[in-house]
C-alpha cells in the first residue's frame, strides 16, 4: 500500500515541452485544472501529497516520475535521457530528503527515465528505450540488488517509455498494449489487452486497490472493471499532448 505521493505543478513553459505526437499545444490553464483534479484523485486514494513548486526552467518537469525511483528501501535519482530534462532531478532529490531513505544517483554514461521502470513485487522491469540505456539499467541493478530486488531489461520498439505501454495492476495482472501483449517476458501474467484505439490508456495506475484511468477510454475502463477493480477517471488531455500519461505525473510510495 502507498501512503505518500509527490507531484510537481505544471509551469507556464509546459507549452514548450517535448512532444512527438500531433495533438496540438497544451492549454496551460486547463493543464493546471487537470493537475489539481489529479491531486484530488491521489488524495482520494488515501495518499498524502507533497506538491513541488513549478519551475519554468524545465518545461517537462511536471512529469516528475521520470526523475526519481522510490522503493520501500531506497531512492534512486535518475539521469534523464533527454538533455533538456537533466536538471530536473535537483529539486526532486532535495524534496525526497525528509523521507529518510538512502539516496543513490545514476551517473554518466548511464541514462534512465523512471517512466521506464515497472515494479512487480521485488522485481523491476526496465525499458531499454530512447531515454534509458544499458549502463543506466546496470547501475540501477547494482543499487537495488543489496536490498534484495532484482532487475531485468525489456527492449522497446514503439513506445516512449516502458510504462507508456504496460502497467502492473497487482494480483499478477498486467494492462498491456501492442508489443507488450505478446512479450515473452510477460507470459506468466494475466494480460488485460488494451484495444489499439485506446493505446494511451495502457498507462493507468494502481493505487491502493483502485485504478486511475485516463478519461475518455471507456473500453479500457470496462476491461479493468471486469477484472474486479474500482476505477477512477482523471482527465489528463493536456499532458497527453506532450506524451505524458497518468503515471508520469507523480511519484507514489
Q: Which residues bind ligand CIR (CB under 6 A)?
A: 17-19, 60, 63, 65-66, 82, 85, 115, 160-161, 164, 242-245, 248
Looking at the Cβ atoms of 39 and 227, the one nearer to ligand CIR is 39
Q: What is the DSSP string of 113-158?
A: -GGGEEEETTEEEEEE-SS--HHHHHHHHHHHGGGT-EEEEEE-SS
54, three cell numbers:
513549478
Q: Residue of minimal CB distance from ligand CIR? A: 115
Residues 59, 14 contacting (CB under 8 angstroms)? yes
Closest separation between CB of residue 161 and ligand CIR, Å? 4
DSSP state of 68: E
Closest separation between CB of residue 90 and ligand CIR, Å? 17
Closest separation between CB of residue 132 and ligand CIR, Å? 11
Looking at the Cβ atoms of 18 and 120, the one nearer to ligand CIR is 18
Catalytic residues: 161, 248
Looking at the Cβ atoms of 132 and 183, the one nearer to ligand CIR is 132
Closest separation between CB of residue 245 and ligand CIR, Å? 5
Largest Cα–Cα distance of the chain, in whole Å? 45
Looking at the Cβ atoms of 68 and 224, the one nearer to ligand CIR is 68
Looking at the Cβ atoms of 110 and 165, the one nearer to ligand CIR is 165
From CA 161, how far away is CA 87, in angstroms rounded? 19
Closest separation between CB of residue 159 and ligand CIR, Å? 9
From CA 212, how far away is CA 210, in angstroms rounded? 7
Looking at the Cβ atoms of 19 and 227, the one nearer to ligand CIR is 19
Among residues 151, 159, 128, the alpha carbon closest in space to that of 244 is found at 159
Instruction: Please tell me the chain's helix, strand, coil percentages from 3-state DSSP, rounded to the nearest 5.
Output: 35, 25, 40
Residues 103, 75 contacting (CB under 8 angstroms)? yes
Closest separation between CB of residue 205 and ligand CIR, Å? 11
Q: How many CB atoms lie within 10 A of CB 148?
A: 8
Provide the H-helix boundaries in the chain: 28-44, 89-96, 134-144, 162-165, 218-226, 237-240
Amino acid at each position: 500500500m502507498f501512503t505518500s505521493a509527490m507531484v510537481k505543478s505544471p509551469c507556464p513553459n509546459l507549452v514548450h515541452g517535448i512532444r512527438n505526437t500531433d495533438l496540438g499545444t497544451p492549454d496551460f490553464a486547463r493543464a493546471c485544472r487537470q493537475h489539481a483534479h489529479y491531486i484530488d484523485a491521489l488524495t482520494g486514494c488515501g495518499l498524502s501529497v507533497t506538491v513541488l513548486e513549478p519551475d519554468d526552467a524545465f518545461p517537462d518537469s511536471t512529469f516528475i516520475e521520470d526523475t526519481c525511483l522510490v522503493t520501500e528501501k531506497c531512492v534512486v535519482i535518475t539521469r534523464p535521457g533527454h538533455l533538456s530534462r537533466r536538471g530536473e532531478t535537483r529539486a526532486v532529490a532535495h524534496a525526497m530528503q525528509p523521507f529518510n531513505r538512502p539516496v543513490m544517483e545514476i551517473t554518466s554514461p548511464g541514462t534512465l527515465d523512471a517512466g521506464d521502470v515497472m515494479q512487480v513485487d521485488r522485481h523491476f522491469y526496465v525499458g531499454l528505450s530512447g531515454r534509458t540505456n544499458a549502463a543506466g539499467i546496470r547501475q540501477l541493478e547494482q543499487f537495488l540488488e543489496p536490498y534484495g530486488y532484482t532487475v531485468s531489461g525489456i527492449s522497446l520498439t514503439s513506445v516512449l517509455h516502458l510504462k507508456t505501454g504496460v502497467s502492473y495492476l497487482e494480483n499478477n495482472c498486467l494492462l498491456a498494449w501492442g508489443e507488450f501483449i505478446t512479450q515473452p517476458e510477460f507470459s506468466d501474467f494475466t494480460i488485460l489487452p488494451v484495444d489499439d484505439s485506446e493505446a494511451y490508456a495502457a498507462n493507468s495506475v494502481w493505487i491502493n486497490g483502485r485504478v486511475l484511468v485516463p478519461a475518455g477510454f471507456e473500453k479500457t475502463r470496462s476491461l479493468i472493471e471486469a477484472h474486479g477493480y474500482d476505477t477512477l477517471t482523471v482527465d489528463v488531455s493536456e499532458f497527453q499532448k506532450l506524451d505524458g500519461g497518468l503515471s508520469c505525473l507523480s511519484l507514489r510510495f
